[in-house]
Amino acid sequence: MNYFLYIIGGLGPTELIIILVILLVLFGGSRLPSLAKGLGESVRSFKKGIAEEVDEPKDQKK
């Protein structure tokens, strides 16, 4: 999460507005909610997979 904040920290409000306008032009207002939902589900699944990997004990090599 800190890496994400580091990337976003360099963007000001003007840059964020320009990015949002470009997204609206490319995908349209009706598709943006479904894209955001899909992105959120992907991130959630990725975090769950990382947490499961950490919880599993590693195989011991002989």
Digit-coded pLDDT (tens) for 6-48: 666 677 788 888 988 898 888 888 888 888 899 899 989 988 8
**For the chain, how many structural domains are there in total?**
1
pLDDT of residue 56: 65
Asked if the structure places residue 6 within a domain, the reply is no
SS3 5: helix
Put residue 59 in one of left, alpha, beta given phi > 0 → left and psi -120 to 50 → alpha.
Answer: beta
Asked if the structure places residue 41 within a domain, the reply is yes
Domain that holds residue 39: 29-53
Kindly report the pTM of this predicted structure: 0.52
- Cα separation, 26 vs 28, in Å, equals 6
Asked if the structure places residue 10 within a domain, the reply is no
